[in-house]
Amino acid sequence: MIEFKDVGVRRDGRELFAGASFQLHPGHKVGLTGNNGTGKSTLFALLLTQMGKGDTEVTLDKGEVSIPDSWHVAHMAQEVGASDQTAIDYVLSGDEQWYEINAALNDLSSVSDEQIGVLHQQFDEIDGYRTPTKAAQIMAGLGLTPASTSCLSQGFQVAGACA
């Protein structure tokens, strides 16, 4: 479970909240709402920072945040920057494990025969050979085409990030 105990947070020198406490248990689904500037994005930034993945603009003034080492927090930017990538490549790049193994398989110049076998085994274990097809099906369900992401509206760029 993720637990916040009496947490106080500042961002850019401004106090956003103090004395916040809550628990998130496995399987629970939580919605976070509030006015602009009240700390919703900062809360997620704090979670990522505590996991070693966030920015340094978020300061935990007091309190305690505990997150199990085995947990992963998925997040998505509120706005997606334009890119020359095709939409399918953009969606596939969101699957970091698939993307890394696929990139290694596409550049075998510095890989031994034994490592090639291991890469193919890992790719098979994550169902990597079917991943592009599954991504295309998800995209079709969201109304996305294989066009470059720069040709897509902001809404479709966000949908691509969701896929």
Instruction: Give the pLDDT band (50/70/90) at residue 127.
Output: very high
Q: Is 78 exposed, middle or buried (0-12, 13-18, 19+ CB in 10 A)?
A: exposed
Element (H, E) at 123: helix 113-125
pTM (global) more than 0.75: no
What helix, strand, coil percent values describe the chain, rounded to 5?
Answer: 40, 20, 40
pLDDT for residue 4:
87
The pLDDT tens digits for 133-142 are 998 898 888 7
